[in-house]
Structure 1
Amino acid sequence: MASRRLGKIALENSALFLCDMQEKFRPTIQYFPQIINVANRMLNAANTLEMPVVVTEQYPKGLGPTVSELDVSQHKVFPKTCFSMLIPEVEEHIKKIRDLKSVILCGIETQACIQQTTLDLLERNYEVHVIVDACSSRSMVDRMFAFDRMKDAGAFLTTSESMMLALTKDAASPKFKQVQKFIRDSAPDSGLLGEK
């Protein structure tokens, strides 16, 4: 019987990638405050769970630093001009992360840097979990079709709450109570379901 990829995730071989969540994108990205809010929940959960975090900034000289709402000061930030996060410096960095199998991906823009990062990671046999409520674009059409494209390529699309629960696995987990505080309030609406 052929093996099936289920997309089950394990904390001990996962990393969070935060892609290009920078100040100059604030006025143009759809649902920017909501996306940042959700990415911050994921970053806080990753820090609590002591998960590796990789942060990139697209041409920071022109587009500014990562937004102040995301405290990435304890993580290495990689500047880049490529759309994919998998620049040589990031590839070298993640080789040092023991047994890395799964990448949890948040950021902007969905049809550009998120999609190209996803395809590059899949090509290198990593599992990719795209946090749909923490990814956006200038255009909702670009955003939605990028999600379709990544899913077709083999990425797993999920939400921040689902991912945090998957990483802790059990209400009896020693860090569950700490992570639970990040999911007590529902994630803000990021327009994925259209008009209600």
Structure 2
Amino acid sequence: MSVQPVQMPLCQRDYSQLLIIDAQERLAKAMVPDELEFVVSNINRLLAAAKVFGIPVIATQHNSQGLGPIIASIAENLPADTQPTEKSAYSCCTAPGFERNISAHPERRQLIVVGMEAHICISQTVSGLQRWGYQVFVPADAIISRKPECKTNVLGRMRNGGIQVSCAESVAFEWIGDSTNEQFRSVWSLFRNQ
């Protein structure tokens, strides 16, 4: 009996949506500062690349009364029509209005998930998205947890559970697809000096 190789899916710009989970000001204060700066930079790089390709962006806020608004540098890069979904549950999939937001683009069945906290809200959300039949990609360098060991643990769980763990630059270059793409330089410049 021959073993069939497992195919590694790639992000397709025409089928993608970018989901930013709970990247909020007060929650950010609990993160390791150097890692936080790197993660926020990568979220903003993906936001810029999504803008280049017209990829829809969805954002959530967890208990914004307690955790504050979305980090200012991310909020200013959100598309004007992006209204963050307020939630109290850890999984976005149980938040009122969230399913309507992601199903507004029914042909876009790939979700690229970034934000905070990797081992709580992100892990529970990607599990729910997977159950709903979405193909889920998590750029490891665009998510963060208060405790780095919790992020390491959940990345292993995600890989074992069929979530595609990637990195921000890989996602952006999968969206480009070809160096002759007319948007190549504008996206490449986002990562050139990383």
Q: Secondary structure at the match of 2:126?
A: helix
* Aligned counterpart, 2:129: 121
Q: Secondary structure at the match of 2:8?
A: coil
Query: Partners in 1 of 2:11 and 2:139 — Cα distance?
Result: 13
Match 2:41 to one of 23, 37, 41: 37
Q: Comparing both structures, which one devotes a greater share of its residues to helix?
A: 2
Identity across matched positions, percent: 25
Query: Partners in 2 of 1:5 and 1:146 — Cα distance?
Result: 22
My pick for the range that moved more, 102-111 or 169-178, is: 169-178
Q: How does 1:49-64 map to 2 (within 5 A)?
A: 49-64=53-68
Match 1:106 to one of 114, 129, 135: 114
* Aligned counterpart, 1:193: none
Q: How does 1:1-196 map to 2 (within 5 A)?
A: 4-30=6-32, 31-70=35-74, 71=76, 72=78, 74=80, 75-86=82-93, 87-186=95-194
What amino acid does structure 2 have at the position aligned with 1:13?
Y
Query: Partners in 2 of 1:134 and 1:35 — Cα distance?
Result: 5
CA-atom RMSD, angstroms?
Answer: 1.5
Query: Partners in 2 of 1:114 and 1:64 — Cα distance?
Result: 18
Q: TM-score, normalized by length of structure 2?
A: 0.91
What amino acid does structure 1 have at the position aligned with 2:43?
A
Query: Partners in 1 of 2:99 and 2:19 — Cα distance?
Result: 12
Query: Cα distance, 1:73 vs. partner?
Result: 5.4
Query: Cα distance, 1:146 vs. partner?
Result: 0.6
Aligned length: 186
Structure 1: stretches of 5+ with no match in the other structure = 187-196
Structure 2: stretches of 5+ with no match in the other structure = none
Q: TM-score, normalized by length of structure 1?
A: 0.90
Query: Cα distance, 1:27 vs. partner?
Result: 2.0
